[in-house]
Structure 1
Amino acid sequence: MKKIISLILAAMLIMMSFVGCGIKEKAGGDEKIMRYNLSSPTKTIDPTLNISIDGGIIIVNAFEGLMRLDENDKAIPGMAEKYEVSEDGLTYTFHIRDAQWSDGEPVTAKDFEYSWKRVLDSATASDYAYQMFYLKNGEKFNGKQVGADEVGVKAVDDKTLEVKLEGPVPYFIELTAYPTYFPVRQDVIEKYGDKWALEPETYISNGPYKAVKLEQADVFSFEKNEKYYDAKRVKLDGIDYYFMEEKATAMASFESGYVDGLYGVPREQIAKLQKENKTEFKIFPNLGIYFYSFNVNVEPMNNRKVRQALSLAIDRKSITRVITQGGETAATGFVPSGIKDSSGNDFREIGGNYGITETAQIDRAKQLLAEAGYPNGEGLNTLEIIYNTDENHKKVAEAIQEMWKQNLGINVELSNQEWQVFQDTITKGEYMIARDGWSADYADPMTFLDLFISNSGNNHPQWENAEFDALISSAKKESDQGKRFQMMHQAEEMMMADQIVMPVYYYTNPMMFKSYVKDVRVSPLGFIYFDNADIVKE
């Protein structure tokens, strides 16, 4: 009887959680509404300010850049129906198609000029401003050395956008499909300020879907944008995004038919799902890395040998096999496997492992810790690891906590923060050791390496190295691909030699989709595209 009562109570709690998340009835009915659980609540869905995958997934389905990406993540025409590139690769001329915003106003070249300069404006405080340093005088404008009129982006007229670069960028055309390069409306932002992205009435977009409800504690509802120039290609009537962080609750909602897809599943269920539910469970590739950032300005993380000892003392193989179980591989460098250089060689294979192995090197780690002045951990105060609220992050942190205790004699405290708070904490450098991660913005090593230039908003270790900055700057301007890749190998070697981060594993994307959900595109770059998706039930 006690068991029966407990099961009933558990079922009631799950049902209450569905209602609390705005899920009031099972998926179905005449409308084709994709109900998708993103797990973490988003900090922002402003394309200029967002730095997270969850926010990015919403944004790429609501907005469109000059280009969009095909199934191979190669650029195809988006808002620009065509473009020309100068012979020296420094000037791009984009021709804007006839397209409308969700409120019916025309999309113009001026929208792009305003948006890109907004990213670069230091007053905006965009963490992704460095992503625009490819533009002529972009970095100088961000540093208040030149005015906005000198930045290399200009609306020649409503239909023509001229872009000038600091140097040839082989992946620039793909960059224009990235959210930071999306257009935003100047009149809307000037009228509503930072609140423009909080209300559906002011969240004016130009992509396949438009907002109809934006309630973080409830649901973000989007419907098909009939003003989108290619609306006939969009089959779904809308998308509902939910934010159930408890993966067991999310899985229960999926199994009960209340949602159609899950971003992330309970790790302990992966083995069973692989055997019993191959139709709905999929592990997608992800060009990304799970790592820990060391704040190099905080004791004792300002001691390189301490950082090296901590990195060598963990067993990456056991973390992937016992905890994550999603086909991840141990990370022994920073740039993941899967990116080819100009000769067709894998960047990771050429770069090597920097002395890091899949299993722990306890003797070497102890030696380094002793050389740092802390033999067997003596004299070392308790370390603190922070992570954003998530079951997987907690389990990985607990495993590392135990490894450092057993292998080095170090005491470690764990602290979790909600996602929005956590993003502020690590950006401001108000931590000692932090869970971190990165998925590629484009398929080039630079998307991982330029995180750590001194003026990058994503430089969570707070590391500053003038030589590294200069090397990255030179690599971005280098037209010889062989030399450019050589420079990037040098840059990775510099940041790994200083051990500003601790690589843990390379990502995969375990997800759930109902069998009736068709043609969702899950990109190795981390985004999920619903523009071609459909719901087809028997």
Structure 2
Amino acid sequence: MKVRNLLLSASAVLATFTLSACGKNSSSASKENQTLHLMQTGEIMSLDTANQANISQWNVLENSMEGLYRANKAGNPAPALATEVVKPTNHGKRYTFNLRKDAKWSNGDPVTAQDFVASWRRQTSPSAQSGYSYIFTGVKNANKVNEGKLPVNKLGVKALNKHTLQVDLEYPMPYFTRMMVMPAFFPQSQAALKKFGNKYGTSSDKMYYDGAFKVRGWTGSNLSWSLEKNDNYFDSKNVKLKKMTMQVVKDANTAHQLFQQGDLDDATITGTTAQGLQKNKNLMHLDRAGVYYLQLNQAKGHPLSNSNLRKAVSLVLDKDHLAEKVLSNGSKAAHTFVAPKLAKDPTTGKDFATEMKPQETYNVKKAQELWAKGLKETGKKSVNLTYYTDDQTINKNVGQFVQSQLENKLKGANVEVHSVPDKNAQSNVAKGNFDMHYALWLADYADPMSDFDVMQTNNSQNYGKYSSKAYDSYVDHAKSQDAARQQNYWKNMRSAQGQLSKDNAVLPLYNMTESHLVKSNLKGVLWHPVGEVDYTHAYFE
């Protein structure tokens, strides 16, 4: 998922805390009232997954909504609203889920199979605004529904009865079970959809929740809200927290201060703040299956539509310096669009990202030669590049790093950095008003397909307008006749990553590692490398 851009992995990061509290003593207070204080690094745009899809939204929904499955301690799908993890029939193309009969919405209504049908139809309809409808590709008729070629009732999902959901696929999807923990596949209350209409999810009181907590106090634009225990949740007896508070904190130094003051129990830190706290007893590193990268606008008329200019930009950036000196939070340089440890290639026994690392990743002299060649091909002596990022402090620092590297090493390169609120950045990116866009893609499930989908020619998330018939063919084959043939599937995965690297379709910068300051008595958190952190069964001891 892109930040705006988010679920499973083969294993979860297990963190053992022998931490000591700092600042005022809030640990005992947290234990007494079981209130967890959290931060988000960006705003919520909407709680409706048919309207928006970003990390802050999914972090909230992960802890307030429930789907068919939930990732367990080992990071594997476990029954949630579904009574069991089911095996497909019809040669891997049909899934039949039996739903819990005691599951309820926060207003007391039962959760039904039709609530899933309503949600999936809304998210695949042509009117969906999230840019995430493509995630349903493979569900029967999903793409045709999204393109307006078929009505939504032709989508391959139906309620056989109140508590039985049937899903039909167009081809076997080995990763389908893992996808079912994603918020995109969560149900939506039909009663709430009817009551709130086009206001559904625009504020916390305009939707119902079927998860462990209910969102309260989000007006649609404010930067703080809370999640209160949902007594109608079917497993509420095992939910120990009474409340979670969340606030948007974009600056790492501010996050550190709030942690010291006892106003945050889990604070994310980066940059110089993280660098100065590497020996702090409260610090933990969480490796995530995400890659921070530059989306390069390759549309006609934009400088980076020239392949030599793209290659030059790729080779001129000292990514190790960026990770070690600018970020200083444990992050490592990235060289593929797929993050390390996301998936092992079963046909080779190797980590997929490691085996696909390009031979050449940093060569200033060659970059300068390619840059000069690209300028000559475009008939220009200089190039102005518009760079967009949001206004988080660390993201501004990354923008300044890229600007400095290009302008100091490539003759005639001028980079104009726009560090603006996320909504502003996304608006310009969606309109194509950029040359480089700093973004994050966090894998939704433990398979390279979670990354490769978004780089296909017609994918709604492909704002850089990358287009390769060869690449599209590799991904299409992996999603059709080769899906159930392991050797062929992974051959296509390797070919797809090789094509992205050859074309410099995107520019990977660094792999996602989060530095967290965590209170020593916070237990029960599931730190998933893929997707969102699960706090639903957290508690203070």
When the two structures are superposed, what TM-score results if normalisation uses the length of structure 1?
Answer: 0.90
2:291 to 283, 289, 292: 289
Q: Is the 8 A contact 2:42 2:56 kept in 1?
A: yes
**Which structure 1 segments of 5+ residues have no match?**
1-24
Determine the structure 2 residue equivalent to 1:423: 426
Partners of 1:96 and 1:341 in 2: how far apart? 34
C-alpha contact (below 8 Å) 2:192/2:206 kept by paired residues = yes
Return the offset for 1:501.
1.0
Is the Cα contact below 8 Å between 2:270 and 2:327 reproduced in 1?
no
Displacement of 1:181 in angstroms is 0.4
Partner residue of 1:139 out of 116, 139, 143: 143
Could you tell me which of 467, 478, 484 is aligned with 2:489?
Answer: 484
2-structure distance, mates of 1:526, 1:110: 26
| Residue 66 of structure 1, aligned match among 65, 68, 72 | 68
Shifted more, 41-50 versus 134-143: the winner is 41-50
The answer for the alignment partner of 1:116 in structure 2 is: 120
Q: Does structure 1 retain, via aligned residues, the 8 Å contact 2:46–2:203? A: no
Q: Given the alignment, which residue of 223, 228, 231 partners 1:226?
A: 231
User: In 2, are the aligned partners of 1:427 and 1:457 still within 8 Å (CA)?
Assistant: no
1:517 corresponds in structure 2 to 522
Residue 460 of structure 2 aligns to which amino acid in structure 1? Answer: G
Q: Work out whether residues 57 and 528 of structure 1, in 8 Å CA contact, stay in contact via their aligned partners in 2.
A: yes
3-state DSSP of counterpart to 2:375: coil
* Residues 265-274 or 152-161, more deviating: 265-274
Aligned counterpart, 2:54: 52
The reply to whether residue 153 of structure 1 matches residue 157 of structure 2 is yes
Give, as a single letter, the amino acid of the residue that structure 1 aligns with 2:262. Answer: G
Aligned residue pairs: how many?
A: 506
What CA RMSD, in Å, does the superposition of the two structures yield over aligned residues?
Answer: 2.0
Match of 1:267 in 2: 271
> How many percent of aligned residue pairs carry the same amino acid?
28
Which 10-residue stretch deviates more, 419-428 or 283-292?
419-428
1:106 aligns to what? Answer: 110
Work out the CA distance in 1 between the residues paired with 2:367 and 2:250.
36
1:21 corresponds to: none
> How far did 1:78 drift?
0.9
Matching of residue 183 in structure 1 with residue 216 in structure 2: no
Q: Partner residue of 2:5?
A: none
Task: Tell me by how many angstroms 1:241 deviates.
Answer: 0.6
Q: Which string of whole-angstrom CA distances, capped at 9 and with x for unpartnered residues, describes residues 200-239 of structure 1?
A: 3322111110122114434211111111111111110011
Partners of 1:178 and 1:452 in 2: CA distance? 20
Is the Cα–Cα contact under 8 Å of residues 69 and 76 in structure 1 kept in the other structure? yes
CA distance in 2, matches of 1:470, 1:191: 44
Show the counterpart of 1:398: 400
Report deviation, 1:87: 5.2
1:229 aligned counterpart, secondary structure: coil
Q: What SS class does the counterpart of residue 221 from structure 1 fall into?
A: strand
Counterpart of 1:464 in structure 2 is 467
Q: Deviations over 1:54-103 (max 9, x none)?
A: 21110110111111111222111011113342151110000011210111
CA distance in 2, matches of 1:261, 1:170: 35
Partner of residue 242, structure 1 = 247
Counterpart CA distance in 2 for 1:326 and 1:186 is: 44
Structure 1: 4+ residue segments shifted above 6 A: 375-378
Q: Give the Å deviation of 1:313.
A: 0.7
Structure number with the bigger relative contact order (C-alpha 8 A, sep ≥ 6) is 2
The CA deviation at 1:285 is: 1.1
| Residue from 161, 169, 172 that aligns with 2:173 | 169
Counterpart amino acid of 2:99? I
Report the Cα distance in structure 1 between the residues aligned to 2:249 and 2:376, rounded to whole angstroms.
43
The question of whether the paired residues in 2 share the 8 Å contact of 1:251 and 1:266 is answered with no
Alignment partners' CA distance in 2, 1:502 and 1:293: 7
Cα offset for 1:456? 2.0
Deviation at 1:375, TM superposition (A): 9.7
> 1:36 touches 1:259 (CA, 8 Å); kept in 2?
yes
Report if the CA contact (8 A) 2:453-2:459 is conserved: yes
CA 1:377 to 1:356, structure 2 compared with 1: closer, same or farther past 3 Å?
Answer: farther
Structure 2 counterpart SS, 1:529: coil
Shift of 1:126: 2.9
Task: Kindly indicate whether the alpha-carbon contact (under 8 Å) linking 2:322 and 2:401 is maintained by their aligned counterparts in 1.
Answer: yes
| 1:376 positional shift | 13
* Deviation by residue 1:390-440 (Cα, 9 ceiling, x = unmatched): 111111211111111121122211111112222333233221111011111
Relative distance call for 1:199 and 1:411 in structure 2 (3 A) is: closer
C-alpha distance in 1, partners of 2:534/2:123? 24
204 and 508 in structure 1: CA distance in 2 versus 1, 3 angstrom threshold: same
Query: What secondary structure, in the 3-state scheme, does the structure 2 residue paired with 1:191 have?
Result: helix
State the distance in 1 between where 2:129 and 2:270 align: 36
Query: In 2 relative to 1, CA 254–320 (structure 1 residues): closer, same or farther, beyond 3 Å?
Result: same
Give, in angstroms, the shift of residue 377 of structure 1.
11
Distance 1:491 1:70, change over 3 A: same
Q: Give the TM-score normalised by the residue count of structure 2.
A: 0.89
Q: Deviations over 1:332-362 (max 9, x none)?
A: 2221221112233211233231x442xx311
Q: Which amino acid aligns with 2:265?
A: D
Q: Would you say 1:205 and 2:209 are equivalent positions?
A: yes
Question: 2:278 is matched by which residue type in structure 1?
Answer: Q
Matches within 5 A, 1:246-257: 246-257=251-262
Tell me whether 312-321 or 491-500 shows the greater mean CA deviation. 491-500
Residues 466 and 151 of structure 1: is their aligned pair in 2 closer, same or farther, counting only changes over 3 Å? Answer: farther
Q: Which amino acid aligns with 2:275?
A: A
What secondary structure, in the 3-state scheme, does the structure 2 residue paired with 1:258 have? Answer: coil
| Distance in 2, Cα, partners of 1:199 & 1:317 | 42
Retained in 2: the 8 A contact 1:293–1:502?
yes
Query: Offset at 1:479?
Result: 0.6
Q: Tell me what 1:94 maps to.
A: 97
Find the aligned partners of 1:376 and 1:282 in 2 and give their Cα distance.
48
Q: Deviations over 1:252-291 (max 9, x none)?
A: 11101122121x214213233221x22x211111111011
Cα contact 1:178–1:441 (8 A) shared by 2:
yes
Counterpart for residue 78 of structure 2: 76
Q: Secondary structure, in 3 states, of the residue corresponding to 1:89?
A: coil
Aligned with 1:372: secondary structure? helix
Query: What is the Cα deviation at residue 295 of structure 1?
Result: 0.7
C-alpha distance in 2 between matches for 1:149 and 1:387: 39
Of 101-110 and 343-352, more deviation after overlay is shown by 343-352
